[in-house]
Structure formats: structure tokens, C-alpha cells
DNA sequence: TGCCCAACCAAGCAATTGCTTGGTACTGTA
DNA sequence: TACAGTACCAAGCAATTGCTTGGTTGGGCA
């Protein structure tokens, strides 16, 4: 069915990685559906048909991009969850970790942000919805721990707070640029200041 | 050029409004590029070619949807700016006004959120970038007034604070559902609490 | 009764889309 | 030197796309 040899079916080839990186940038900039296989091939300096030597389909490209990124991201979340830091520190770490992910994998984050809803309708991408639920579990756990320990104010709506944090953190991928004036740490510092203590004068 | 009679060229026809509402829902759900004229026509119960009796092109549909919404939204911003409320009240009003816009025009907001970057590249949609700059001006003004008056803490990065607020408010369109358990006022209340005073226990 | 006109249909065209097929150039290995 | 395997090209197909064209329907008005 596939033209890959067994030894390379895991995508370890250098050329595969290159092509996936090129595709990821285009998917992030123009959207998955709005990026053609000819766009990708042009950017790679080959003909569109040649892409099918490396990949089964355009879908399998975005699949590989998203699933490998998600695996890495959730490994990081798990480490925070399992640490013995106090509740507030865990929340801080989870926020910093997310901005760092934007810094290191902006294309992947952007694709997930823009295409998850649409792709998630297909069975092949059902794991996207699962990962979303998993992410929610992480945050709800962290926030409820914060409430219990007294680190967070008691009148918070945990579900809404989770949504606000998630939205603000991940949508930053739209404007954050690695190598720009602000580092991901700068952004995380400022956001944590506002999130924890508010913008109003004390 | 167009098949419209002079008396209906402004889009006041009932049928035009219906078709635009149908198109707006589809554009919001599936994306502009990913919605075909046949999708729109099917949802309206007509054939795709019949759409061109009402509109010049698919682009002119999304143009009409976005430009009329933007006009309404910025009229509301202007009213807040020109009021003689204090800085903190103005910020609160601007936030509430935005959640209310999501409640009343979710399709339009969603389209603007998802397609502005892509559409804005075309000259026809240059006004989207202008509106964006205009919105930034409004918020930067409000925040700087807040700093000057002492309502806001002095160590804020105004530009970053603006981005956090803008992102959190508008991305709520992804999960807020009119008629659901939470009203737009509930959401605004909770967000303003967090934004102004933070989530940490005092 | 005759006419107008908004609203729509039926059919199809040209461009673009994802993908397929059969073949070629080059490289490393036995 | 023969062979295997990677990476690619050249050409094109079937489906889908936005949009066009010429014609039909039915209600309102003089």
C-alpha cells in the first residue's frame, strides 16, 4: 500500500521531517484546507506528485504533525501534575510550559488552534477531542487544588477560569514571534502577574 | 453588471438578509474557504447558481457580513470612549460590550476571528486591518487612562495587557452559546473579577 | 389583459483540487 | 558489476470549485 520501507515507516527520515516542517508552516499560515499539495511541493522545490512518495495523503501529513506535537505536550503536563510543588507553583508551571510550547512549536500550536474543531469531526482525528478533554482535566485539577489549599480565591468559577486561561495562553500563538522583542518568559511573567493579582491597583 | 434593481441595491430585501444569515452560519462553522456556494444554496433550498441573482460573488457575501457588523461594533466602542465615565468603568463597559456582541452576533464574530488574517491580505478587505488598528487604539487609550488615573497598577505592560484582554474576550466566541446556562453578563462578570483582581487569594 | 420583475432552475464551463501511474537519476552495498 | 532502495519527474484523471448563461415561474400593478 505504502511506498515506505519498513525501516523508515516511523518517519525518522531527514527528508520527511523537512517536508513536514514545510507543510506545518503552510498549514499554520493559510489553513489546512486552504493549503494545496502543490503549495507544499512548490515550497519544497519538488512536484506535487512526489509528495506521495513520502506520505499517503495530505491528511496523513497534518495527522503526523499534530499527533507527535500532542504527545510531547502532554508528557510535559503530566510531569507538572505528578510533581510535589504546591498548587500555585503548579499553575505557574503549566502556564509557563504552554508559552514555551508556543515558542518552540508555533506552527503546530497554530494548526491545532485553527483546525482542531474541523478535523476533529473525522474519526481519524478523534484523538484531538480526547486530548482536549485531557487538557481540561489537567487544568480543572490544578484549579481545584488551588481552591482547596486556599491559594485561590473561593468565589472562582473553575470551569470559566479554565476557559479564560486556556484561551488567553494558546491564542497568543497568533501574535507571539520567537526571536522578537519579548521572550516567552517575558510573556508568561506578565500574564501570570495579571492572572494571579489582576490589573487593578491594589 | 448586477441584477439587482436600484431600490434593492442596499441589501434591504428580506431574502438577501436570509441568505446572508445562512451563509454567515456556514462561514462561521466551516470557514469561508471551506464553505462552497453549493453548501449555502443547499441550506437555503435553492440551486447554487441562483445565489448569483442576489450577490456578485461568494466574497461579496462575506464582505457584506463583516463590514456591517464592524460598523455596528465600532459605533458602540465610540460611545464608550466619548462617555464621561471614569477609566475603570470605561474598561468594564468595553469588556461587557464585547461579550454582548458575541451573544448577539456570534457568527459574525467567529468569521472575523477566523478569517480576518487571511481575507485581510486582499485589497478588498483592507478595512479589516484598519478596524483592527482602530480597536487597538481604543483599548490602549482606555488602559493608559487607567494608568494615569491610578485605577490600574503601575507595572503593567499596556501592549501585552491589551492583547490578553482582546484575545480572551473574542475567543470566547468559540465556546459561548446564547441561551445556554451562562448569560453574556455572567461571563463578563466573572472575567472582570479575574481581570481586575486576579485569581489568587488576597 | 398585458407587462414587469424578483426569484429561481437547468445545464454546463474553466480552473483547481488531491491523488495515481509509470518511469528515471543517483547512491550505497554486496 | 549488479542490484536495491530513495527521491523524484512527467503526465494526466476524476471530482469539486466558483461562476455564467439562457430560460421559466408567479405575484403585483396598470
pLDDT at residue B4, rounded to an integer: 35
> Does the C-beta of A26 come within 7 A of strand C?
no
**Taking the mean position of all CA atoms in its chain, how far away is CA A48?**
28
pLDDT at residue A7, rounded to an integer: 32
What is the signed CA dihedral for B19, B22, B23, B26, rounded to 10 degrees? -170
pLDDT tens-digit series, residues B23-58:
999 999 999 999 999 999 999 999 898 999 999 999
B171 touches A: beta carbon within 8 Å: yes
DSSP B12: -
Beta bridge partners of B200: A152
- Domains located in chain A, CATH noted: 1-56 (1.10.10.60), 58-197 (1.10.357.10)
For CA atoms B170, B172, B173, B178, give the dihedral sign.
negative
DSSP B8: G
Residues B101 and B109 sit within 8 Å (Cβ to Cβ) = yes
pLDDT at residue B200, rounded to an integer: 87
Protein-covered nucleotides on strand D (Cβ within 7 A)? 5-12, 16-22
Which segments in chain A show pLDDT lower than 50? 1-12
pLDDT at residue B2, rounded to an integer: 31
Protein-covered nucleotides on strand C (Cβ within 7 A)? 5-12, 16-22
Beta bridge partners of A152: B200
pLDDT tens-digit series, residues A92-121:
999 999 999 999 999 999 999 999 998 998
pLDDT at residue A202, rounded to an integer: 78
Question: What percent of the residues of chain A are helix, what percent strand, and what percent coil, each to the nearest 5?
Answer: 75, 0, 25
Which segments in chain B show pLDDT lower than 50? 1-12
Distance of alpha carbon A116 from alpha carbon A200, whole angstroms: 35
For A198, residues 6+ apart whose C-beta sits below 8 A from its C-beta are: B153, B194, B195, B196, B197, B198
DSSP A12: -
Looking at the C1' of nucleotide C9, which residue has the nearest alpha carbon? B47
pLDDT at residue B49, rounded to an integer: 87
Interface test with A, best of B36, B176, B200 (most A CBs within 10 A): B200
Instruction: Quote the cell numbers at residue B142.
Output: 482606555
Distance of alpha carbon B74 from alpha carbon B22, whole angstroms: 24
Residues A153 and B191 sit within 8 Å (Cβ to Cβ) = no
Q: Nearest CA of chain B to the CA of A127: how many Å?
A: 19
What is the signed CA dihedral for B116, A192, B160, A105, rounded to 10 degrees? -50
> Does the C-beta of B53 come within 7 A of strand C?
yes
Closest C-alpha to B62, from B32, B97, B105:
B32
Amino acid at each position: 500500500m505504502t511506498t515506505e520501507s519498513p525501516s523508515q515507516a516511523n518517519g525518522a527520515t531527514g527528508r520527511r521531517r523537512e517536508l513536514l516542517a514545510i507543510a506545518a508552516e503552510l498549514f499554520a499560515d493559510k489553513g489546512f484546507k486552504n493549503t494545496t499539495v502543490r503549495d507544499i511541493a512548490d515550497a519544497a522545490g519538488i512536484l506535487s506528485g512526489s509528495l506521495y512518495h513520502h506520505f499517503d495523503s495530505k491528511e496523513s501529513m497534518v495527522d503526523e504533525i499534530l499527533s507527535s506535537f500532542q504527545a510531547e505536550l502532554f508528557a510535559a503536563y503530566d510531569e507538572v501534575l505528578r510533581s510535589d510543588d504546591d498548587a500555585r507553583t503548579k499553575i505557574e508551571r503549566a502556564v509557563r510550559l504552554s508559552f514555551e510550547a508556543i515558542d518552540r512549536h508555533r506552527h503546530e500550536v497554530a494548526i491545532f488552534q485553527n483546525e482542531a474543531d474541523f478535523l476533529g469531526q473525522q474519526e481519524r482525528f478523534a484523538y484531538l477531542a480526547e486530548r482536549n478533554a485531557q487538557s481540561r482535566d489537567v487544568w480543572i485539577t490544578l484549579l481545584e487544588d488551588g481552591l482547596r489549599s486556599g491559594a485561590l480565591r473561593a468565589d472562582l468559577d473553575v470551569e470559566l477560569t479554565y476557559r479564560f486561561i486556556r484561551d488567553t495562553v494558546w491564542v497568543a500563538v497568533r501574535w507571539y514571534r520567537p526571536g522578537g522583542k519579548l521572550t516567552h518568559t517575558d510573556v508568561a511573567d506578565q500574564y501570570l502577574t495579571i492572572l494571579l493579582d489582576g490589573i487593578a491597583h491594589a
